[in-house]
Amino acid sequence: MHKVYSSSYASSNSISMLPAEPKIFHGRDAEVTHILQLFRQESPRIAILGAGGMGKTSLSKAVLHHHEIATKYHANRFFIACDGSINKVELASVIGAHLGLKPGKDLTKAVLRNLASAPPTLLILDNIETLWDPVESRKETEEFLSLLTDIPTLALLITMRGAERPSKVQWTRPFLLPLQPLPREAAQKMFLDIADDNHSMEEVNQVLT
Ligand SMILES: Nc1ncnc2c1ncn2[C@@H]1O[C@H](COP(=O)(O)OP(=O)(O)OP(=O)(O)O)[C@@H](O)[C@H]1O
Ligand SMILES: [Mg+2]
């Protein structure tokens, strides 16, 4: 028998639109494979960590558009840029807008209810360090993440600067290690993709050292 899900889920008022798949993307095959393996477990909770500019957001977008993920979650994939939110209420309001909920004072409960009655859903919270780094909002952010991860049908993927995972969440094992710089060959490919055509490999290597 099919489970009946809330009709308010991802209504036509939803502002949700997925960001594009990265057109230039090299050298992260091992990480993509690792993440896909984590997705084969029940209720994956995954943190992509690493220093600023290391490629966390790009990796999350590559996963978002991977055919296995697209097939599993279809339209129930949400990519939320957290860098415009300074606290949990603002974040809940952005997620609520993506889900097509009516705006309100604090959408935390409505978001949780909506996701709990939805079909299997992937929620990507990108650059969540904007809420986790400041001491004032860390605790409420961790509590919100913990409530989200109480929803068994929800797959949660966060990206966050640094090497520490938020506590109060059972992150799926084996943990993905913080991203390291791209291997040299992948960095060369990336450079050649974005630079004009007049560069020798010697020049490219000079830039990359
Ligand atoms: N695997 C890759 N191949 C080619 N280019 C990449 C790759 N990963 C990232 N880039 C490029 O590097 C830049 C930084 O990537 P991205 O925004 O994903 O990093 P980030 O770790 O999310 O950064 P931040 O810490 O600022 O959030 C972008 O211009 C992106 O296109
Ligand atoms: Mg990022």
Helix-helix angle 108-116:88-99, to 10 degrees: 40
Beta-carbon contacts of 81 under 8 Å, excluding residues fewer than 6 positions away, are: 94, 126, 127
Determine the atom of ligand 1 nearest the C-alpha atom of 161.
25
Task: Find out whether the beta carbon of 188 lies less than 6 Å from any atom of ligand 1.
Answer: no
Q: How far is the CA of 4 from the centre of ligand 2 (A)?
A: 36
Q: How far is the CA of 126 from the centre of ligand 1 (A)?
A: 12
For atom 8 of ligand 1, which residue has the closest CA? 55
Rounded to whole angstroms, how far apart are CA atoms 134 and 41? 32
Q: Which ligand is nearest to the CA of 180?
A: 1
Q: For the domain 29-178, what is the CATH code? A: 3.40.50.300
Q: How far is the CA of 22 from the centre of ligand 1 (A)?
A: 9
For atom 5 of ligand 1, which residue has the closest CA? 25
The tens place of each residue's pLDDT in the chain, 209 residues long, gives 444 444 344 444 555 689 999 999 999 999 999 999 999 999 999 999 999 999 999 999 999 999 999 999 999 999 999 999 999 999 999 999 999 999 999 999 999 999 999 999 999 999 999 999 999 999 999 999 999 999 999 999 999 999 999 999 999 999 999 999 998 888 878 777 777 676 677 776 776 66
Q: Mind giving me the DSSP string for 10-44?
A: T-TT----PPPPPSS--S-HHHHHHHHHHHTSSS-
Task: Find out whether the beta carbon of 61 lies less than 6 Å from any atom of ligand 1.
Answer: no
Q: Which long-range contacts (CB under 8 A, 24 or more apart) does 69-74 make?
A: 69/36, 69/39, 69/122, 72/39, 72/120, 72/122, 73/120, 73/121, 73/122, 73/155
Q: Nearest Cα to 83, choosing from 153, 131, 26?
A: 131
Beta carbons of 120 and 153 less than 8 angstroms apart:
yes
Pocket test for ligand 1, best of 23, 48, 57 (most atoms within 8 A of CB): 57
Task: Find out whether the beta carbon of 160 lies less than 6 Å from any atom of ligand 1.
Answer: no
Beta-carbon contacts of 70 under 8 Å, excluding residues fewer than 6 positions away, are: 77
* Strand intervals (E) in 88-153: 121-126
CATH 3.40.50.300 location in the chain: 29-178
Rounded to whole angstroms, how far apart are CA atoms 113 and 117? 6
What does the pLDDT look like over 166-182, one tens digit per residue?
999 999 999 999 999 99
Question: For residue 45, which phi and psi values (nearest 5 degrees)?
Answer: -130, 110
| Per-residue pLDDT, 204 | 67
Task: Find out whether the beta carbon of 191 lies less than 6 Å from any atom of ligand 1.
Answer: no
